[in-house]
Copies of this chain bind each other. A is one copy, B any other.
């Protein structure tokens, strides 16, 4: 496993909320991440669809890790902001969020993500995100190290 993949999987494994959602990283490439998540009735809104905030959460994590996959060693990333448009009710057995870096900079990275509801072989686009991620330089090593 390459460094960019192992560091993304390592950090993702520490996102307790992704575990709570049952979300998993499906594939990683430099600047691209896909996250998958099963339907869970505990994550629905009043009509029984998955809550917009849950779909936004897997899109946000996918964007953050797409940016992180390109970040220099030792750097951290944080979401600055995102905008999400909800295109169809989040109704399905599984969901996927696919993020891609649109512009990678030393400080700021802009990512786009699409979310899909998956039922058998069919995928339906249900949401799209545009967000900004900041790369924070690694803390200077402490004198004791």
Contact = CB atoms under 8 A, between A and B. Distances in A.
Count copies of this chain in the complex: 4
Interface in A58-97: 58, 60-61, 76, 78-88
A32 to B, nearest CB: 17
Interface in A72-128: 76, 78-88, 102-103, 107-108, 110, 112, 125, 128
B16 A43 contact: yes
Contact of A16 (B42, B81, B82, B86): B42
Given A15-B46, A53-B53, 8 more contacts: A16-B41, A45-B61, A51-B57, A54-B57, A79-B86, A80-B85, A81-B85, A87-B103
B110 A85 contact: yes
A80 B128 CA distance: 11
Interface of A: 11-12, 14-17, 19-20, 41-47, 50-54, 56-58, 60-61, 76, 78-88, 102-103, 107-108, 110, 112, 125, 128, 130, 132, 134
A53 B64 CA distance: 12
Contacts of A51: 15, 17, 57, 60-61
B112 A134 contact: no
Contacts of A88: 103
